[in-house]
Amino acid sequence: MFSFSTITRYQQQLANNELTCEAVVNHYLAEIEKHKGLNAFVEVYADEALEKARALDESRSKGEEMKKLHGVVIAIKDVICYKGHSVTAASKILDGFSSLFTATALQYLLDEDAIIIGNCNCDEFAMGSTNENSVYGAVKNFANEERVPGGSSGGSAVAVQAGMCMLSLGSDTGGSVRQPADHCGIIGLKPGYGRISRYGLLAYASSFDQVGIFGTTVQDVKLLLQIMSRPDNMDSTMTQRALPPTEIEQNKKYKFCYFTQVMEHPSLDAEIRAGIENKIEALKIAGNEVEAVSFGLLDYIVPAYYVLTTAEASSNLSRYDGVRYGHRSNVPAADIDTFYKQNRSEGFGLEVKRRIMLGTFVLSTGYYDAYFAKAQQIRKLLVEKTNEIFSTYDGIIMPVAPTTAPLLGKKDDDPIAVYLADIFTVFANLTGLPAIALPLFSHSDNMPYGLQIMTKNENEVTLLQMAENLMELKTKD
């Protein structure tokens, strides 16, 4: 029976004729069918995945050299455009829509002979932290089906967690890769803003969104990042400098900090706090420096994030009106305003409507200066404070989430509490920092949890080196 460990090992097996791509794709198709109750996939590309696998097997039989992702089976989030395939952002408003082009980041993977096996369920337009805000229904956590997988990229996380693919792509606007990775016990990387092209990624909040990667080893995640970070003229916000092909250095020593206000925050589960404190001590014993730093802006992070992202969302989602594409109401409309209202009221879910309304409010006359402008000022202060921190430290250590994965159905009890649970992840998006969630711990409730590391922008190589060292420490515990 096939068991995936790393891309390198898998491709060695292919080269030695121990495996075929076709057999491996059939294995994953069987696993997807076996775990369909988790509701991780929106659509499975079975026929074309098998066709691609057979073509790759034939190319090897002819002695052709394998490309970097030869036969690697990958799933994508339902916000990433793939030409000729549906992309709906898990929303009724885009029911039946097929993309006319392929996202640049995805095209780079296809160019290296990756096999795309399907697209994954998510919170509608990436708005949510539980993957329950989906027209396709909630995704369940493979570790405990009574719990959420996290969101908004919950389907992509569960696809890797349950062994339905090798790696997957998500998107991260305020923690939507790192938080589900934490809840599912896998690695989740959010590159720095501008590292990967956003061309072909359906927008939620354009100055926050970033394509992210789920995997089980740091080396595999790094390989996908190197490939997807190639320059793209279609995205003017890209750095246009690909990730250097530097090998990860083992046992390199670093100077870390953590925020006192974070580790003492009342929302942080005591067991999670203790686990991270123990890991900090392990880092010190291993020769790293770790120091506490005061960070007085913590309470402003979540309000600033939601003011800015909802403002951008209200603008980005205004294009979905039922005129050119998407849901169109069957109820006759007396005028154009009613036509738009009916289409959008029927097409959008509750959480999306809530955020559009909030964003419209903070941008409205009389409230712009009081909310949006103030939030922009907070963002600027956060960037300045972050630059000051990185003049002294190599990395920031932080929890990913205040608790382990919550039970399904709890999000409607208090939407504000769900927003506040993003307190430890949105910081990286507000400041554009690269960040990674690492699966280092197991809670007494039998659920996984981890910690996240952040480095200064355009410094993903250091981030991945730190991650590798922490994963190595885990094996020694």
Backbone angles phi, psi at 175, to 5 degrees: 130, 10
Residue from 188, 245, 248 nearest 221 by CA? 188
Q: CB 423: neighbour CB atoms within 10 A?
A: 22
Which residue among 52, 77, 279, 456 is the active-site one?
77
Active site residue 152: yes
Element (H, E) at 451: strand 448-454
Task: Answer yes or no: are the C-beta atoms of 395 and 455 closer than 8 Å.
Answer: yes
DSSP 65: P
Name the catalytic one among 134, 156, 168, 176. Answer: 176
Helix 460-476 with 270-285: angle, nearest 10 deg = 100
The burial class, CB within 10 Å (0-12 / 13-18 / 19+), for 148 is buried
Q: Using an 8 Å Cβ cutoff, are 17 and 57 in contact?
A: no
Q: CB-hemisphere CA count at 13 Å for 218?
A: 23
Instruction: Supply the angle between the helices 218-228 and 7-15 in degrees, to the nearest 10.
Output: 90
Can 77 be counted among the known catalytic residues?
yes
Instruction: Compute the distance between CA of residue 256 and CA of residue 392 in angstroms, rounded to an integer.
Output: 9
Q: Tell me how far the alpha carbon of residue 227 is from its chain's centroid.
A: 17
Helix (H, G, I), strand (E, B), or coil: what is residue 128? Answer: coil
Type and span of the H or E element at 57? helix 46-61
DSSP letters, 171-209, are E-SSSTTHHHHHHHTSEEEEPPTTSS--TTBPPSSTTT-
**Backbone CA torsion sign across 276, 278, 281, 285:** negative
474 is annotated as an active-site residue: no
Q: How far is CA 229 from CA 108, 329, 436, in A?
A: 9, 40, 16
CA–CA separation, 167 and 76 (whole Å): 9
In a 3-state reduction of DSSP, which class is residue 110? helix
CA-nearest of 450, 427, 411 to 127 is 411
User: Which residue in 134, 152, 171, 229 is the catalytic one?
Assistant: 152
Across the strands, what pairs with 436? 189, 453
What are the residue numbers of the active site?
Answer: 77, 152, 176
